[in-house]
Amino acid sequence: MVLDRQGYDDLIMYLTQNLALFEKPGEIKPGAPTVMELIEDVIAQNVMLICEQHTDLNTEQRSQIVREVDGIVYDLEEVLSSITSQPVTVEQHAFIDEFAGLVKNLFDSALAQQS
Percent of the chain with pLDDT over 90: 97
Q: Is residue 23 part of a domain?
A: no
Q: What is the pLDDT along the chain (115 residues), one digit of tens a residue?
A: 999 999 999 999 999 999 999 999 999 999 999 999 999 999 999 999 999 999 999 999 999 999 999 999 999 999 999 999 999 999 999 999 999 999 999 999 999 998 7
Per-residue confidence (pLDDT) for residue 26, from 0 to 100: 94
Mean pLDDT over all residues of the chain? 95
Compute the distance between CA of residue 12 and CA of residue 14 in angstroms, rounded to an integer: 5
Residue 64 belongs to what domain range?
Answer: 4-11+34-111
Per-residue confidence (pLDDT) for residue 115, from 0 to 100: 75
Q: Could you tell me if 66 and 107 are in contact, meaning their C-beta atoms sit under 8 angstroms apart?
A: no
Q: Is residue 17 part of a domain?
A: no
Total domains in the fold of the chain? 1
